Structure 1
């Protein structure tokens, strides 16, 4: 029987989905027919997103979720599975900016917060979702890391170390869960037009893109979302443990 290239009827839990890449992912999955659990720290934000998606005729519900809170993770994951009758896809997208000089006074606090939200939350969400993923016919986990995991910037050691941890976690879980048919993959976005990059001037973004990327531009959140969708298709059943840059050729370019 041909492998399906549709997520119609599947249920996806997406973290950090009130804005940026998470929002683009939620909108794309909804348009493709998935039941979408929109989660974010902002309960008001996800409520608005879910309501708008439902008004457009899609299947979506919103939950406020602080991914640094293990109890909240367990409660929301269970609520999502109960609401939609299961869980097929987990997209670990929630993130923060975490930059600090290694000798700065507040470094330890930045380090702890970075690991809590950018790495520890990923494994907690996987562990909470796993009982339902194991019952799915097409279980998919996609972790969102960063090209900072592959080549770092000055003053970003908390962020880069946590994101590198995400790539390691992805590979380890892919090996561990592969025998059960659960695929685990990782996307490393490069320079994307999100809230984290809005503080940069348009001139600075243009200069960086021209100097560092092959495509000479920043990416759009939806361009990352499409890679996430591709990895979550039932037809993507033989892709696991992959770490995929979506970076406009940033990692490929030497000069």
Structure 2
């Protein structure tokens, strides 16, 4: 009989970068990772907002820690220099979570469409591969290197008036699968999470009444999620024990994508 082989479910001491970590799912993930003992680079556009998250994490007294970096992921040079700075400050990189994003409604018939297309693809697709490429030398040196890309259920289907976002999120899923194959030989896992209706800044403008109507009609669990519910799936993907999970596309959507009626 083969001996049972225990696998670690601890990220204590791991060094992680999270983009878009000043709010929503990114902030929840930063808190969760720090509570599990990881050292987290909280990155976002606004340094003061990142510092507020870092202070909140410190106030909680977690076993891990956090440090703030301002980062505009639409700027390739900023990505390169910031990743190097983080890796040198931390002494290593083990985990990368590509989470930064936003939503701009876009009508293909309008001239303003290009104003949505370019920044959407830059932040929510091109930036993912640039972050990965910048982090790759350090991830190759890690014992349990993990990459998680945050896509959306819009990467599995589409809503009207949202095609740049839909295109970007479909692209993230394709990028995840392609890089899972390419980086598998290095032992680097690359997975993708597709959140459904989540209570974040993107959905703040939707009234509670309309959130309730939508959830009861479309979501099996009949509610919106909180960011922490997505963060816990992200944590599951970066555990050392998640060593044979790669190229996965995981909906965290309360049953949205499987509900036909």
Pick the TM interval, shorter chain.
Answer: over 0.9
| Match among 228, 239, 244 for residue 245 of structure 2 | 239
Report matched runs for 1:103-114 at 5 Å: 103-114=109-120
| Match among 21, 24, 28 for residue 24 of structure 1 | 28
Give the aligned partner of residue 194 of structure 2: 188
Using the alignment, how far apart are the partners of 1:72 and 1:140 within structure 2?
22
Report matched runs for 1:146-157 at 5 Å: 146-157=152-163
- How many pairs align? 255
Using the alignment, how far apart are the partners of 1:51 and 1:61 within structure 2?
9
1:171 CA drift (Å): 0.1
Using the alignment, how far apart are the partners of 1:163 and 1:149 within structure 2?
4
Using the alignment, how far apart are the partners of 2:148 and 2:60 within structure 1?
26
Structure 2 stretches lacking a partner, 5+ long: none
Give the aligned partner of residue 17 of structure 2: 13
Give the aligned partner of residue 137 of structure 1: 143
| Match among 49, 52, 63 for residue 53 of structure 2 | 49
1:138 CA drift (Å): 0.5
State the Cα deviation string for residues 154-182 of structure 1 (Å, max 9, x = none). 11110000100000000000000001100
Give the aligned partner of residue 260 of structure 2: 254
Structure 1 stretches lacking a partner, 5+ long: none
1:60 CA drift (Å): 0.9
Give the aligned partner of residue 233 of structure 2: 227
Q: Taking structure 1 as the reference length, what is the TM-score of the superposition? A: 0.98
Report matched runs for 1:156-167 at 5 Å: 156-167=162-173
State the Cα deviation string for residues 92-117 of structure 1 (Å, max 9, x = none). 00001032111012001211111000
Q: Taking structure 2 as the reference length, what is the TM-score of the superposition? A: 0.96
* Structure 2 counterpart SS, 1:234: coil
Using the alignment, how far apart are the partners of 1:70 and 1:156 within structure 2?
25
Q: Is 1:115 aligned with 2:156?
A: no
Using the alignment, how far apart are the partners of 1:60 and 1:128 within structure 2?
20
Question: Quick check: 55-64 or 70-79, which moved more?
Answer: 55-64
Using the alignment, how far apart are the partners of 2:9 and 2:192 within structure 1?
19
Q: Is 1:127 aligned with 2:133?
A: yes
Using the alignment, how far apart are the partners of 2:104 and 2:257 within structure 1?
21
1:71 CA drift (Å): 1.1
| Match among 80, 83, 103 for residue 89 of structure 2 | 83
